[in-house]
Every structure is written in C-alpha cells, then in structure tokens.
Amino acid sequence: MVYKTNVITFITAFALLCILVFVLPADPNASEAENRNMTELPQLSIDNVMSGKYMDDLESYLSDSIAYRTLFVEFSFAAERLYGVSMGGATFVMLDDEDLGLGIIPIDSGLAPASDTAASPEVDAGLTQATDPAMSTPADSAATHSHQNNRVNTSMPFSVDVHFSSDAVLYNGYRYSRSASASFAGALESYRESLPESVRIFTLLVPTRVEFMAERYSAEFPSQANAISGINSMLSPGIRTVDAYSMLAARAANEYLYFRTDHHWTTLGAYYAYLAFAETAGLPAVTIDNYIEHSVPNFIGSLARGTTNSDILDSPDTIYYYQIDTGVTFSQKLFYLPQERDRASYGLFLGGDRAIIDFTSSNSNGKTLVVVKSSQANAFIPWVAPNYERIVVVDPRHYTDGIIELIKELGAVDLLFLNGMNATSYDEYARILMEAK
C-alpha cells in the first residue's frame, strides 16, 4: 500500500511539474523581478552533450521556464524568514559564479538602443537626453533623482550609503581555479602575440566585495589578492598590470565602494580603479572635484533579485554617478536614467552590456582606448572617457566581428582588459575571449 501511494505521489508531482514547465506559459515577470535574462533553450550538439554543458543549461532552462516562478521565489523567501533563524549581519547569497563571470546584467528593456541614443558632441557632458518613454532627463525627474548643482567638495563625504543597514548586506563568494586563471592569462597573451607593438596592453582585475569584508566572511574564500598576483605573474612584460586592488583595499572599510545588494562595485569603487589605471598608463587623471555628483535612490541589485526581505527592501542601495564639469563633451550618452524609482538598475551605466559602443569626446588628443570587458567596466568607462579622443568598448560575450581586426584598423591604441575576478574562475570566459578574438 505504501509503495502504491509513493508511486501515485511521484506520478502526480511529475505531471504537475510537466504542466508548469511545458504546458503553462513561462512567468513573464521573472526576468524583471530577478534583474537578468532568463536561460534560453540550449542548442543540442555533440560537444555540448559530451561536456555536460547541455544538461546543465537544460536544467537552468527548465527552472527559468516554470510558470508562476516569481510567486514560487517569493514563497521561498517567506518560508526562509518564517522558519530560519537570523543572527544579523551580512548574508551569503548562493549565485552561480559562472553566470556572474559571464555577466547576468542584461540591457535594460526600458532603455533606448545605442543607435537611438547617440547625441551630438555639444549636447551634454555624458548625461542622457531621454529618447524613450521609460527614460527622463534630470529636469523632468526631481522626485526620483537627487542632484547637487555644484562640483564635488572633496572635504565633504560623497557617494554615501544613505540607507545603510548591517542586516541588508548581501555578498557572493569567490571561487579560485588554477586552470581557469591560466586560461585567462593565456588568452591575454594570445592577444598580445597577435597585435603590433604600437598597441599598449593593460589588464585590470576587480576583486569582489567579500575580499574586503570582516574576516568571519572573507576567511571562507581564497585570497583574491593572491589570485590577482598569480594571474599577473603569468603575463609577459608586454602586458601592463593595473593595481586597482591596493586602491580599493585602502578605502573599502570606510567608503561606499561596493553595492550591498549587487555584485558590482559602485561608481566610487570604479573611480579609484581609474586613478590606478591613469597612473599606470601615464595619463593626467581628472580628479573627482571636477565632477558634479548625482544620485538615483532605491536600487535593488542582482544579489537581491526576487527578494521579499523587508530588511533589504527598506534599505536599498543608492546609485551615484558623476557628470564632468570641465567642458568635455561626448558623442555617446554615458548615463541612462530611469523615470520610475523602482526601475533603477546597473544599466544606468552605458545603458547596459552591448556588443560594441564606439564614441568620441571633444578632447582632441588623438588617443584611442579599446576596452574589452565584463560588466564591471560599465561604471569605469565614464571616468576614463575624458582622457581619450575615442573610446571603443567591446563586450566579448556579444561581439562576433573579430577584436584583433578591429584594433588593427584603429592603429596605435591603448587596449584595456577590465574584468571582475569571477570572470577568471571559469575556463568558459577564457574561451569566450578567444572566440571573440
């Protein structure tokens, strides 16, 4: 009798699962609620099947395609709060580090595409002029955006975490892989060997937040300082390494360098990395007192996607961005502002991840920078843009026309590989770099 009951229960549960996945439509709100693109049906091929990638991707697809997914996620969070015991402090979020390395932040569907957002150089200093109903200019959005109408005063606090709560700090881990680190270094060396000596090559690796957290959190994971040093030691002198780590480590305890609800750094974290890059590249850094600080409140990032945790929802992040005030202008909009408060996203920087962004500045010094990047670079680009006449931003996850040929056509350029440390944790990202080459 027990056996029969178990069989009936299994068949019923399996039938219900099939209905939720294959019969009922996928949850249309899941992508927006979780701040990511949902997994598509994987392509069936012998290589994918033999490597196990097909089954992994299929499992992700079935999970993402379930009907009422948002409701199930909300129920899960409610159950955790009802039955779990919270000791306070930061919360570890188990996300797929491979997805983090490859980039889970999509282009915001509410943003105008690149072809519709290009502005003439005299329009502004990198601030968007809205061309989409979902976008707004600062003048139209005083209720949403807090603006200071003067330059940053460096003697005063700036980029402050105004909603800070120790119970609203989320973090993801870091996975070290010797083989993946070697593959990443090998990919960069392959670019160096394929490019003329007139191309100056740089690499900048961005550590994750957990590296700078209290020892009770960071001690669980490998040292990213050692990992960065190890990767850099595999590179020849023809690739210049940018020490952003030291800049961040010296300030992480007291300044708002990482979001609490998102796996990216803040604009301020990217600024200190920019100073490190400018020093390595021999560029005159434009200091922060030459900028006007703006803020967009109520940002709930990737680490809190789908959450109903009131501690987090009541203490959202604030996205700060900085508009240059020296007269330098750009042909591409660098910031995209949401009209509604609940639409704030990391897509504010450059409009999200796109295959290629090619723009110029009014700084006619003849210098060109090519940035091959993961999404950490999006907050970095506006800082470095005034130092070059032309900036070409390439995302190897989406670009398919050949990065080497692109650079050769541009001539003597600076080439910067800017990636988060999670990108070096999986061989997959090195493979993407090589395929985009």
Q: pLDDT tens digit string along 206-218?
A: 999 999 999 888 9
**44 and 175 inside one domain:** no
Q: Which of 83, 101, 123 is the last residue of a domain?
A: 83
Residue written as tokens 């704030």? Answer: 344
Residue 408 lies in a domain: yes
Q: How far apart are CA 172 and CA 339, in angstroms?
A: 30
Q: Say what the pLDDT of residue 82 is.
A: 38
**63 and 185 inside one domain:** no
Residue 62 lies in a domain: yes
Residue 106 lies in a domain: no
Residue 56 lies in a domain: yes
**301 and 411 inside one domain:** yes
CB neighbour list of residue 275: distance below 8 Å, 6 or more residues apart = 247, 285
**220 and 123 inside one domain:** yes
Q: Which of 29, 61, 83 is the last residue of a domain?
A: 83
> Residues 225-240: what's their mean pLDDT?
96
The model's pTM is 0.74
**205 and 291 inside one domain:** yes
Say which range, 2-11, 249-258, 260-269, has the weakest mean pLDDT.
2-11
Residue 413 lies in a domain: yes
Strand ranges (E), 300-426 = 317-324, 356-360, 368-373, 390-394, 414-420
- pLDDT tens-place string over residues 113-130: 222 233 333 233 344 433
Number of domains in the chain: 2
**252 and 373 inside one domain:** yes
The amino acid occupying position 194 is S
**199 and 64 inside one domain:** no
Q: Which of 83, 103, 130 is the last residue of a domain?
A: 83
Residue 90 lies in a domain: no
**173 and 262 inside one domain:** yes
**70 and 201 inside one domain:** no
Closest to 248 in 3D by CA, of 228, 219, 220: 228
**78 and 216 inside one domain:** no
Residue 100 lies in a domain: no
Six-digit token string for 69: 């997914």
Most confident option among 166-180, 240-254, 302-316: 240-254
**243 and 289 inside one domain:** yes
Residue 61 lies in a domain: yes
**74 and 136 inside one domain:** no
Bridge partners of 337, per DSSP, are: none
Residue 36 belongs to domain spanning? 2-83
